[in-house]
Amino acid sequence: MKESTGFDEGMGELGLNIEGLLRRSARQLIQQAIEGEVQVLLEEYAAVRMVAGPSCGMDICRSGRS
């Protein structure tokens, strides 16, 4: 029979052990950080407009060609 260490006895919410809780918390922190960075990026480029319209025959284009 396996000896109990006390960590698995109170499995936490949703049946997760301590490792599962740490992984979930880490994912949430990473997601929040990424969302924050994307928000900052969108704010920085909010005023950027295409010069000649939506095709790549313009001065600025997604592929980086001018």
Q: Tell me the mean pLDDT in the region 12-32.
A: 87
The helix (run of H) or strand (run of E) holding residue 36 is: helix 18-44
pTM for the model stands at: 0.50
Q: Which pLDDT value is given to residue 46?
A: 86
Task: Specify the DSSP class assigned to residue 65.
Answer: -
Q: Give the chain's mean pLDDT.
A: 75
Instruction: Report residue 45 as tokens.
Output: 């480029």
pLDDT (tens digit per residue) in 33-45: 999 999 999 999 8
Q: Quote the CA–CA distance of 42 and 48 in Å, as a whole number.
A: 10
Evaluate whether 19 touches 25 at the Cβ level (below 8 Å). Answer: no
Angle at 58 between CA 56 and CA 59, to 5 degrees: 125
What percent of the chain is modeled with pLDDT above 90? 39
